Amino acid sequence: MTRKYFGTDGIRGTVGQAPITPDFVMRLAHAVGRVLKRTESRPTVLIGKDTRISGYMLESALESGFNSAGVDVVLLGPLPTPGVAYLTRTLRASLGVVISASHNPFPDNGIKFFSAKGAKLSDEWEFAVEAALEQPAVWAESADLGRSRRLDDASGRYIEFCKSTFSNDLTLKGVKIVVDGAHGAAYQVAPKVFHELGAEVISIGCAPDGLNINHEVGATHPQTLVAAVKAHGAHYGVALDGDADRLQLVDADGRLFNGDEILYLMVKERLSRGGAAESKRAGETVPGVVGTLMTNMAVEIALKARAVELVRAKVGDRYVLEELEKRGWLLGGEGSGHLLALDKQTTGDGIVSALLVLQACMRSRKTLAELLADVTLFPQILINVRLKPGQDWQTNPHLAAATRAVETELGDHGRVLIRASGTEPLVRVMVEARDEAQAKACAQRIADILAA
């Protein structure tokens, strides 16, 4: 069964074009409200957003749609996606809604949802919403309309939560950190978290104007952070994306660490608590972690050496989460910087992930490079090919033949992954190999056939 509107992370697109229009978003909220009212007589929904100028319009549309279905609304204002997930859980709300297109540029926006437990919702729930969208609206009677209010201290509550995930016996005093908020949802929150834990904070990407979110800053443009860390002589750099659910880290030398490396570090830090008995206790403390089809082979090999199993889920943090919950594991993530530590937070949280890494550094008194000295990532070449209208790439015999030839050439020293984007009309060609030149050549051969 194919979903009509929902992608891998909610509904996303260009503002003013279907489905990201105010009329559709109002109908969407109304449909979601009707689904909620099947199990609750008076649901309450939280709505947070990033800093895009279109957020005001879409927030109003959502509010109207929910109220029209008899659903109460709590407006949180600009707040990171994981902050909405946290408050949904702690305020015992029925649902959390985030208005954000994450790492996309400002003309885009999107809507994503969290369950009452602060977790991503299932495919079945999304199918139910899409089915409700096809039905005529059922407007609530005037006396039954939902009410709306604002939660003025939403960001303060989330700041305190983030700080609580950092060990009470440690401090960031004496540490200089550049914090890049991507001109996004964490522009106020992130600098305060690190400052209140003792760090000297230099803020960049923390002056949103509605149009500059993710523009040459943030996790998708980490070279801005690299330059700032070097210029300020900082010990670390933390870059978030527009809704602050992903993370990129930089050390004092300007070296960039991606999500795969950070995931391995999180595992290693947990195992280190077993001391000399680490290898014996690995199966008890970290039985396994969940990555994705894109997780670097070097991390898989390093985890295996520590007796930790890596399971690959489909690309998308929701699928990582589903696999973790199915297996009862705690740690997972993506190379893009979406990281999960389910004993700390119910969803990917860039700030919390950064604090877990800094905690490992403070506790061990080692740098990031020292902690990750036993992992050298394989070169991973990714080429995006834009699809032509109606193009059926999956049945292309020339593409299949080229892929088989590359896989034979790489053998056990590399791999090929071809997948469609969940948010854009693109096919992503990834080739991973020990030799970078070989990976580039192989990826280009496949991409050229796909683009022909």
Which pair of structure tokens corresponds to residue 46? 């939280």
Which of 102, 115, 155, 203 is catalytic? The answer is: 102
Q: Does the annotation mark 102 as catalytic?
A: yes
**How many CB atoms within 10 Å of residue 124?**
8
Helix (H) or strand (E) holding 114: strand 108-114
Which pair of structure tokens corresponds to residue 318? 């929701």
Q: What is the DSSP-derived secondary structure letter of residue 432?
A: E
Instruction: List the strands of the sheet with 380-386, edge to edge.
Output: 380-386, 426-433, 414-420
Strands 176-180 and 200-204: parallel
- CA separation, residue 441 to residues 67, 219, 298, 419 (Å): 55, 27, 20, 19
d(CA 106, CA 117): 29
Q: Which stretches of 22-152 are DSSP H helices?
A: 22-36, 54-68, 81-90, 123-133
Q: 14 CB contacts (<8 Å, ≥6 apart)?
A: 20, 107, 108
d(CA 282, CA 284): 5
Q: Which stretches of 134-198 are DSSP H helices?
A: 154-164, 189-196
Which pair of structure tokens corresponds to residue 380? 């991973």
Q: 152 CB contacts (<8 Å, ≥6 apart)?
A: none
d(CA 126, CA 93): 18
Question: Mapping DSSP to helix (H, G, I), strand (E, B) and coil, where does residue 25 land?
Answer: helix
- Residues forming the active site: 102
